Structure 1
Amino acid sequence: MAKHDLDPDYLDPNYEPVVNHSDNTSFAHVLQARMQRRTLMKGSVGAALASVMGLGLAGCGSDSNSNDSATTSGNASATDLGFRAVPVSSENRVVVPEGYSSRAFLPWGTPITGSYPEFKADASNSGADQEQQVGMHHDGLHFFPIDQKAGGNSSSEGLLVMNHEYINQKALHPDGPTRAADNGGVRPADEVRKEIAAHGVSVVHIKRDSEGTWDIVFGSPFNRRITGNTGMDIRGPLRGYGKLVTKYSADGTETRGTVNNCAMGPTPWGTYLAAEENWHGYFRNADTDRPREQTRHGVDDTSRYDWELADNGADEYVRFNITPKGDTATADYRNEANTYGYMVEIDPFTPESKPQKRTALGRFGHEGVIFAPVREGESVVCYSGDDSRFEYIYKFVSSTPYYAATAGGYLLDEGTLYVARFNEDGSGDWLPLSLDDAGFANKVRSAVGTTVGSVDFDGFENQADVLLNTRLAADIAGATPMDRPEWGAVDPDSGQVYFTLTNNSRRTEEQVNAANPNANNTTGHIIRWSEEGDNHAASRFDWDIFVFAGEQGTETVVDDQVIVSLTDDNIFNSPDGLWFDYNGRLWIQTDGSDAAPYQNNMMLAANPETREIRRFFVGPVGCEVTGVVTTPDVKTMFVNIQHPRSDWPAGTEGDHPRDSTVIITRDDGGVVGA
C-alpha cells in the first residue's frame, strides 16, 4: 500500500515515522535533576505532571530574575498589543479583529509568468500551465522590498516569495489522480508533471496602487516558478561527494528540484532559503537492505505520489525510484534522495540564477532557518529545527566573517554545524558535529561497532559523510530529542531565540525531559534561550519555556508565580509558525486539532516582555495557518492559508479548494497589531 493510500486527499503533511531510536535522555536523569527546575505547566495536563514530578521544570539558570533574563532596547511600548482578541471560530471564513480587513490573494493556480495561463475552475489545467502558475499548499513566505538591494525599504512594492509544501491530489486534477494500481501500474505523465510543478517556490512581483490595493505586476521579469524539476547546484561540503553521484550528475554537483518546502528564511544579503522538510516520502527503494542515509529518514518501498511510475518513463520521473539497478551510481538514481534534505537558496532579484542547495547547514527535515542579527566582521549564525518527533535543533556558525559589501551565499558553505543539548538545570550546550572537534571525534570512535538507534554504526568516511547523515551524527553527539521543533524566531530587541515545539503524542512518561516535560504532548509549547554573553556564536546558552499551549486554565509558572494563564482570548494548541515583526511583536501560528475548545487553526500575537498573548486571526475550516510577514512599515500583513476545505475562498461548494495568501490591513491605515 502506497503512503498516499493512507489518506487519499493527503491532508496531513506531517506524517512521518519515528526514526530516532537513540536514547539520548533518561527519566532517571530527569528525576535526579528535578530540584533545579523552575518552570511548570499547570492545568489539565500540567497538574498531573506536577503530581508526578513534585516540582517545576527547568528555567533560566540564573535565579536573579524570576521573569527570565530577557532585556529590551528601544521603545518597549512598540510590542504592546492594541487590538481586541477575536474568539475561536468554526466558521468557514477568515476572522480578524474589529477595525481590520482581509482578502484572499494569489490563490493556487494564479498565473504569474510565461504565457499567464488562466486557472480553470474544474482544475483541468495542464502540467505546462501549472509551471507558470502559483503552486499549491502555500507555506513560508517573505516580502522583499523592491528597492532592498539598493538599501531601500519600500512598503508599496516588492517581491513576495512563498513555499508550496505539498499537494492535495484530489483537488489538483479534475477527477482526482489516476492511481497506478487502477491503470496498469502506471500514472499519466502529465498528471505527474502537474504534481511536481505544484511543488516548489513562487516569486511574485506585487505592487500597491494609490487606493491601497495589492496586485501582481504582470510581465515583470522577477515573476518566477521554481518547481520539483528545476535544475539546482549542490554547494558546500557535499558538492562532488561520491554519495551524491547520479545518472543526472556524474560528478555529484547538480540535482533537480525541491519538494516539501515548509518554512523558510530570508538571508541578511537579500536572498530566500526554502526548507526541504518531509522529502523522504517522495522516493521509493524496493531493496530491503537500505543505506543509513535513507533508513534514518524513513525511506521505504513505497512513494507518496508514485511519480516514478509516469507512463512515458521520462528520466525526470524515473529518478524517484532509488532502487539500485545499474553497476554503478552513474547508471541509476540510488543516490537521488541524498540530494534532498537541505536549505535551498534562491535569489529573487536575479531570475536567471540557479538555486543552490547549501549542504553545510546539514541534511535533515528542515522546517526553516532563522538568522541572528549580523555584525560586520563576525560570523553569520543561523538556526534550524528538524520537524519530526524526537528530532533536534541545530545552529550553524560560518567560518568566514560577514561584511555587508561582499556578503553572499558563499558564507553558508564553510562553518561548523552544532546541535542543541538542553540541560536539566536550564543551561544548554551547542555540540559540534565536526570531525575536527576532538570531543565529537572521540564519540564517533567509541560508537563504531555499536548500534546507534536502529543503525549499525561503522563510522564516517569524512566530514561530508557526517553532514549527509546529520541526524545520526546528532544521535552520537548526545543531543536532546525534542517535540517536533518547527519554526524559530529571533527577538530583534533582546536577541533571544524562540522555537515552537508543536506536539508529540508519542512521548512516554519515561521519555520526558526538562525541555520536553509532557508525556503524550498533544498541545505543544514554545521554548526560548539566551546565548551566553549575548553572542549568538557562543557554545552555551540559558533557556526557559516561554509558554505551554493548552485549553483554558493552562498555566506557565516560574518560581511559583503564574506568568501565563490561558483564557478564552488565547487558548491554542500545536504552535507551528513563528515570526517577530519589525516592532518586536511575536506572531504564533497553529497547526493542530480543530476540535473544541480550539476550533479552527489560528494566529496569535504575543508581547515577549510581558508574555501577554491575544488571538488575532482565525482561519477557515480545515486549514493550517502558516507563513506570516509584513511590509517594513508593518501596515500590510501577509498570511498563508494551507489546505482549506472545498468552498474556500470562493464560497461555493466544489472539489477544488485553493490555498491562498490573505492580506490584512487596519481600516485606519495603522500598524498591524498596535
Structure 2
Amino acid sequence: MIPLPLVNHRVGRAAVTCEYRCGDACFHDVPNTSDNPYFGDLVSRRTALKAGAVVAAAATVALPTTAAAAEPEAKGHRPPKGLDFKPVEVNTKDEVVVPEGYEQGIVIRWGDPLFPGVPEFDFDNQTAAKQAKQFGFNCDFAAILPLDPLELTGIMVTNHEYTSETFMFRGYDPNNPTEEQVKIGWAAHGLSVFMIKRSLFSGHYKAKFSKYNRRITLHTPFEVRGPAAGSDLLKTSADPTGKKVLGTINNCAGGVTPWGTILSGEENFNQYFANAAGRNDPKLTRYGVTGNATTRKWERFDKRWDLAQEPNEVNRFGWIIELDPHDPDSTPIKHTALGRFKHETANVRVADDGRVVAYSGDDERFEYIYKFISNGKMKRGNSKAARRHNMTLLDDGTLYVARFKGDSPASEIDGTGKLPSDGKFDGTGEWIPLAAGNKSFVPGMTAEEVYVFTRIAADKVGATKMDRPEDIQCHPRTGTVYCALSNNVERGVTPGKEGPTEPNPRINNRHGQVLELTERRGDALALTFNWGLFMVCGFPDDPNTYFGGYDKSQVSPISSPDNVAFDRYGNLWISTDADGKLDGLNDGLYGVPLEGPERGHLKLFLTVPRGGETCGPVIGERVITVCVQHPGEVDGASADKPVSNWPDRGTSRPRPSVVAVWRKGRRQLGEIG
C-alpha cells in the first residue's frame, strides 16, 4: 500500500518534497512583510475582518472526492478540435494513465546516457563523472525544437529543478552526506539538451546521441549580462568581475523564444546557501535566505555556498537564463534586466513594432507578476547571427511589476470564493515601472539595487500580492496572457497577512486559480490591462469554484495549476502540482477550450504516478510529452523503502522521466471522429 501524505502538512504536499524542492518554504515565515497601501482600493478593513470570521469554516469545508467528467456530447456540443478524448478518471495508481485510444512510451529517464561511451545507469554505483554526462534528476520544464517539417526529429531541452538525495542513494545520511554524493547532486542539477527521434508510424520519441547533446551543470560557465553585470553586489573572490557565474540551480519552468532559444527560471535558490543566521540582513530575509546549515550540506565542500565566506554568491542566482540549444559550444546567459526573484518562468511575445515583451512570475505566496519591454527589435530568420542579435534583446529595456484592481464592491469579496454580483472576478490593472537601464524609478534604490533586490523594489511601489504566480504564457493567436496562480494557504489565515482580494478571492486558498490578462487594445506594449479569473480551481461540487462559466457537473476536478501551454487550435493545457491537495489523488494534465460554447469544459487527459508531479507539457500535433517529476516521493518513502517502481518496474527505484503520449492509428491528437 502507498502511504498518504501526512494529514497535518499544511499544503498537502509530501514534507520530503517541500524540504528538497523549496527548503520548506511553506513552514517558514512569508518573506513578503510589506504593507502595500494600494490594497485599500482592493479590500476594506471591514471586508478583511469579515473574511477572518469565516476562516475556520473555509478551512474545514468537506469537499467531495471527485466530480463527474461526462462525455463531450453530454450537452449537445461537438468537442472542440484538439480535445476529442474521453477524460481519464482521477486515481492513485503508480503509472501514467492516458485516455482510451492513446499509447505512451518513455522518452528518457534520470541517468540515461547522453553521449557515446557513457555507462548505462546503475543506481548503486552512480558517480559525479557519470551524472555529468547523463540525464539529470527531477525534470521540470521541457521544450521541443523541431528539426524537420514532420516533427520526426527535434532537440529536446529539459530543466532539472532539484535533487532529492533521500531517493537517490541507499543508506543516505542527511546529516553527513559524502563528498561524492554532493558532487552527484551538483551534476544532477541544471539542464539537459539532446536529440529525439520517432518513426513516421509512432509517436514514441526516443533520445539519441547527436552533435546537439549537452549537459548544463553547476560547473557550466554562464555570462552575466544586462545592467547589473559587473555590479559590486555580484562580485566574489572567484569572480571579481561580477560577470561570470558557474552553474544554475532550481530551474523551474521556462519558455521558447521566437528566435529559437530557451529561457529558464531560477526559482528556490535561497535554500542552497548556509549561515544566513546572524547576519541580520533584511535583503536575505526578503528572499527567504535564513538559517545556518542547509539540507544538502553543500557548504561543507565548496565555500561558494557559505554566506559567511562568500556573501555575494547568493545574488548570482534567481535570474532568467537563456540557452541556445542549436549551438552546443555557446555560453548560456543570465539576464539581469529581467530582475532577480524566484522566477518560475519567462515567456516572450513580439509587439507589432518588433520589440519583445517578457512576462514572469515570482513563485511564492504574496509575490508579484512582472513584465519587461525591450528597447531593441527582433531580427527575423533562423541564422546564428540573428539568434545572437536577438539574445541581446533581454539585456536592454524597462522592467515593470503588475498592480491589479477589482471592479466589485469590497463587501462582495468575502473570502469564500463566491462570485460577486456581476458574476465574475475581474477588473483592470497597470504596469508600474521599476527600472530602465541605469535609471531607477523606485525612490531610495539605485538601478543596480532594483535588479538585484527586485522584490524590495516591487514592495516599495505597491505591487499586488498574488497567490504564487507560476507559469505565464501568451495565447499564440490573441496575445491574451494566462497565468497559473497555484495556491496560498496563508491568505487570510495567518494573523497580519493579507486577506482576500478580487484577483485572489479565497482565504486558505488550497487549489489556486487561472488568470486571464488582456493588454489594452491588444497592444503588447500597453501599460494598462483588463483581467479576469478564467478558472477558480477545486472540486466541481464546491459551489465556490468556477470553470469559465461552464456547467460544473461536466468538468474534471483540478488543484494547484502549475504549467500552462497551448495546442495549435488555441486550447489551453494545464499541468498540476497538487500532490495530495485533491484528496490524495494524483496530479495530471488537463485540456480546456477558451472560446465558444465549450469554454471552460475542463477534461483530465492524463495522470502521473503516485507522489509525482506533472511538469513541462509540450503539446504537438501528434505527440504530447510531459515530465514526471519526483515519482514515489511521499512521506515515509526513500531509496531504502520505495513505494514506487515506475517506470522500470520490478524491484527498481523510481526515476524522474519524460513520457510521450500519442493517438493510435497515426491520427492527430484530439482529432474529431
What band does the TM-score fall into relative to the shorter chain?
0.7 to 0.9
CA distance in 1, matches of 2:579, 2:559: 7
CA distance in 1, matches of 2:657, 2:34: 40
Residue in 2 aligned with 1:135?
136
Residue in 2 aligned with 1:390?
366
The structure 1 segments of at least 4 consecutive aligned residues displaced by more than 6 Å after TM superposition are 44-49, 435-438
Query: Which AA in structure 2 matches 1:194?
Result: I
219 and 545 in structure 1: CA distance in 2 versus 1, 3 angstrom threshold: closer
Structure 1 unmatched runs, 5+: 36-43, 50-75, 148-152, 181-186, 311-316, 325-332, 446-458
After TM superposition, the structure 1 = structure 2 runs for residues 182-221 of structure 1, keeping only pairs within 5 Å, are 187-212=177-202, 214=204, 216=206, 218-221=208-211
Secondary structure of residue in 2 paired with 1:644: coil
Please tell me whether the aligned partners of residues 604 and 613 of structure 1 are also in contact (alpha carbons under 8 angstroms).
yes
436 and 144 in structure 1: CA distance in 2 versus 1, 3 angstrom threshold: closer
After TM superposition, the structure 1 = structure 2 runs for residues 180-579 of structure 1, keeping only pairs within 5 Å, are 180=176, 187-212=177-202, 214=204, 216=206, 218-286=208-276, 288-300=278-290, 301-310=292-301, 317-324=302-309, 333-372=310-349, 374-375=350-351, 377-405=353-381, 406=386, 407-425=389-407, 426-434=427-435, 441=441, 444-445=442-443, 459-460=444-445, 462-508=446-492, 511-554=499-542, 563-567=549-553, 569-579=555-565
CA distance in 2, matches of 1:542, 1:376: 19
Please tell me whether the aligned partners of residues 375 and 402 of structure 1 are also in contact (alpha carbons under 8 angstroms).
no
Structure 2 unmatched runs, 5+: 1-13, 48-53, 60-77, 408-426, 633-643
Residue in 2 aligned with 1:23?
35
CA distance in 2, matches of 1:433, 1:673: 43
Residue in 2 aligned with 1:183?
none
Secondary structure of residue in 2 paired with 1:270: coil
The Cα offsets for residues 2-45 of structure 1, whole Å up to 9 and x where unpaired, read as xxx9749946547324100012267754356999xxxxxxxx99
State the Cα distance separating 1:168 from its structure 2 match: 1.3
Please tell me whether the aligned partners of residues 396 and 437 of structure 2 are also in contact (alpha carbons under 8 angstroms).
no
358 and 177 in structure 1: CA distance in 2 versus 1, 3 angstrom threshold: farther
CA distance in 1, matches of 2:551, 2:504: 19
CA distance in 2, matches of 1:162, 1:224: 11
Query: Which AA in structure 2 matches 1:384?
Result: S
Residue in 2 aligned with 1:165?
161
| Greater displacement, 617-626 / 9-18 | 9-18
State the Cα distance separating 1:207 from its structure 2 match: 1.1
The Cα offsets for residues 326-361 of structure 1, whole Å up to 9 and x where unpaired, read as xxxxxxx22111110001111111001111001111
State the Cα distance separating 1:291 from its structure 2 match: 3.6
RMSD: 2.9
The Cα offsets for residues 547-578 of structure 1, whole Å up to 9 and x where unpaired, read as 111113245789xx981343474111111111
Please tell me whether the aligned partners of residues 364 and 468 of structure 2 are also in contact (alpha carbons under 8 angstroms).
yes
State the Cα distance separating 1:146 from its structure 2 match: 1.9
| Greater displacement, 593-602 / 426-435 | 593-602
Residue 659 (1) aligns with residue 656 (2): yes
Secondary structure of residue in 1 paired with 2:248: coil
Residue in 2 aligned with 1:588?
574
Please tell me whether the aligned partners of residues 138 and 659 of structure 1 are also in contact (alpha carbons under 8 angstroms).
yes
CA distance in 1, matches of 2:116, 2:545: 55
Secondary structure of residue in 1 paired with 2:275: coil
CA distance in 1, matches of 2:79, 2:93: 33
Residue in 1 aligned with 2:604?
615
State the Cα distance separating 1:432 from its structure 2 match: 0.5
Query: Which AA in structure 1 matches 2:659?
Result: V
213 and 338 in structure 1: CA distance in 2 versus 1, 3 angstrom threshold: same
State the Cα distance separating 1:77 from its structure 2 match: 8.0
Secondary structure of residue in 1 paired with 2:563: strand
Secondary structure of residue in 2 paired with 1:222: coil
Please tell me whether the aligned partners of residues 361 and 369 of structure 2 are also in contact (alpha carbons under 8 angstroms).
yes
Secondary structure of residue in 2 paired with 1:273: strand
State the Cα distance separating 1:81 from its structure 2 match: 2.1
CA distance in 2, matches of 1:114, 1:292: 49
80 and 534 in structure 1: CA distance in 2 versus 1, 3 angstrom threshold: same
Could you tell me which of 80, 103, 106 is aligned with 1:104?
106
CA distance in 2, matches of 1:288, 1:7: 27
CA distance in 1, matches of 2:283, 2:339: 12
Secondary structure of residue in 2 paired with 1:471: helix
33 and 508 in structure 1: CA distance in 2 versus 1, 3 angstrom threshold: closer
CA distance in 1, matches of 2:616, 2:464: 27
* TM-score where L is the length of structure 2: 0.82
* TM-score where L is the length of structure 1: 0.82
The Cα offsets for residues 586-607 of structure 1, whole Å up to 9 and x where unpaired, read as 1111111426646111111010
State the Cα distance separating 1:474 from its structure 2 match: 0.4
Residue in 1 aligned with 2:628?
641
87 and 303 in structure 1: CA distance in 2 versus 1, 3 angstrom threshold: same
Secondary structure of residue in 1 paired with 2:140: strand
Please tell me whether the aligned partners of residues 115 and 132 of structure 1 are also in contact (alpha carbons under 8 angstroms).
no
Secondary structure of residue in 2 paired with 1:564: coil
435 and 636 in structure 1: CA distance in 2 versus 1, 3 angstrom threshold: closer
Please tell me whether the aligned partners of residues 195 and 212 of structure 2 are also in contact (alpha carbons under 8 angstroms).
yes
The Cα offsets for residues 250-293 of structure 1, whole Å up to 9 and x where unpaired, read as 11110111010110111111111111000010011355124444
The Cα offsets for residues 616-664 of structure 1, whole Å up to 9 and x where unpaired, read as 1111111111111134xx101111101001311122345x310011100
State the Cα distance separating 1:369 from its structure 2 match: 1.1
CA distance in 2, matches of 1:557, 1:131: 45
Residue 176 (1) aligns with residue 172 (2): yes
State the Cα distance separating 1:210 from its structure 2 match: 4.5
535 and 619 in structure 1: CA distance in 2 versus 1, 3 angstrom threshold: same
State the Cα distance separating 1:216 from its structure 2 match: 4.8
